[in-house]
Amino acid sequence: MSSAPPTPPWNVHRLPRADGRVFLVTGANAGIGYFVAEQLSATGATVVLGSRNPAKAEAAATSIRAHVAGARVRAVRLDLADLPSLRTVAESLEVERLDAVVHNAGVALDDPPREETGGGHELMFGTNHLGHFALTRWLMPLLAAAPAARVVTMGSFAAKSERLDLDDLQSLQDYRPKRSYGRSKLAQMYFGVELDRRLRAAGSPVASVVAHPGGALDSLTPSRPPVHVRTTGARLSAAPAGLLLQGKHAGAWPAVRAVLDPSVRGGQLWGPRVFGLRGEPRREPVWDHLADGSVAKRLWDASRDLTGVGPDW
């Protein structure tokens, strides 16, 4: 009796084929999201770029087609800060099933003052976490229609040192931009872990995986004009940082593996190999504070109330 051939080692430059599958990437018009979309496009899958800016999305699609022969890529309008609009995203995809969604989009504010979405939520928490929380709710029928769909939530290494204040999720009492950003990404990661727990309890075929890009800098990222242009000066000045950090093309690797690798399981955390900051993707232990189910449940209940997605979510 012959045995099955061994699975080859994961190679970020030789991804498995995914012909016939459909992937949605939020925030795919720039940064890490762009490279997630470009790399997934090289597998033969159809990749949908979710973006609130149609012109930037089309520029990203044009760039992907220029770098990936035969890329099947298109765009849909997706504004995570506009919660009511997310109900229609699933219909706008015009597909019968969705094999994966990569929750990558996000906003970061460098300086005060505090800003809010049109719905009155703190901008970073409302966009980065609440928007993805609600979007997943409306995408779930399409995800459940696929044989083994994945929800991949892109967190941040900045969340590792943060802790949620469940009594001040929207930074009304004490707003500090960098801390509020880190907490919004931590909330996303809690969501990814708790979502998988709930999917397993329901016997769902959908899996939820959390990833983070490590330390990813524009100055270490290859040019993709007009999406991203790296000057010679920026490349030279960033050379020392390359010993510890990486470009956004490499920051995309953990999420791409979380989508494609059949050995990846729900509830796992994936990040860069070297100190969690750079290198090829590997599984890492779920951070201790992310494993706190009581915090995750309270966050889930609060998020459900804030988004108004209904009691069945």
Catalytic residues: 181
Look at the chain and count its residues.
Answer: 313
Amino acid letter for position 162: E
Q: What DSSP character marks residue 103? A: E
- To 10 degrees, what angle do helices 253-260 and 31-41 make? 40
- List of E strands, 129-287: 150-154, 207-211, 216-217, 246-247, 269-274, 278-284
Q: What DSSP character marks residue 285? A: P
Residues 6+ apart with CB under 8 A from 13: none
Q: Please give the biggest Cα pair distance in the chain.
A: 68
Structure tokens at 165: 């204040």
Q: 220 to each of 209, 216, 279, how far by Cα in Å?
A: 26, 8, 13
**Phi and psi torsions of 120, nearest 5°:** 90, 15
Handedness of CA 241, 244, 245, 250 (dihedral sign): positive
Q: Which secondary-structure segment (H or E) carries 68?
A: none
Neighbours of 221 (CB within 10 A): 26
Amino acid letter for position 176: R
- List of E strands, 22-70: 22-26, 46-51
Owner of token pair 């300086």: 111
